[in-house]
Amino acid sequence: MNDLTAYIDNYFNGLLKPEEKQVFESRCENDEAFAEEVALYIASRSAMRDELLEQKSKEWKNLDDSTKKNSTKLVSMRRWYIVAAAAAVICFVLLLIPFGESPQQMADAFIKDNLQQISVTMSGTTDSLQTGIEAYNKKEYKKAKEIFSEIYLVHPDNTDALKYEGLSNLMLEDFNNAIILFDSLAAKQNLFANPGLFYKAIGLLKRNGSGDIEQAKQLLQLVVDKQLANDKEAVRLLQKI
């Protein structure tokens, strides 16, 4: 796989950073040669590859022939035809062939489905912890993080505060601190259900730094082997990573 193909592959697998994705999409709009490469890449992923490439090659050849016959009229339009053709191939094939979820997308899906709200049992919940939970559920994650941090500082035995502080950092995309906090949670003993290792794996998948994906896989396997909290979800993630 050459560098350009790897670059395009990373885009469709969700491995590019937000700013890199913007550059990629801008190139599709403004760089006709690059748009053609993207179109060919997408087409090659489908069972209809040969038919699509033959069709598009004929279209581009016809455009070239037309340009030679009437270069003054069509020279300014040729670029837009090629970009449109590339976009058409991309849209058509994407509808037929969904790409697999990237590890980041899988982590996002788990967060969306499971971590948007914190549910609590009112009995045994301190007023300050409840205030932090209310802030979290209103998506006021910075405020929630500060409340949970203060609670845990005063009451280091309050593992809920530690867990919720980690989740607040995760929602704020402060993955480094979230991972540190989930690591501390995982080290806590005698908890009925300790999600520390699983949440740390989610944080690693989201951070996606050097070695993070492999470490996340190891943690998820450990969750499965020891039947820790979220072990069924860990199995599902391992099957897709």
Distance CA 112, CA 138 (A): 14
CA atoms within 13 A on the CB side of 54: 4
Give Rg (Cα) of the chain: 25
How much is the pLDDT for 181? 98
List the chain residues with pLDDT less than 70.
1, 43-100, 121-126
How much is the pLDDT for 95? 46
How much is the pLDDT for 203? 97
Closest CA to 170 of 115, 129, 122, 117: 115
How much is the pLDDT for 98? 46
How much is the pLDDT for 50? 55
How much is the pLDDT for 123? 43
Which runs of consecutive H residues, i.e. helices, occur in 13-48? 18-30, 32-44
Q: Do 203 and 168 form a contact (C-beta atoms < 8 A)?
A: no
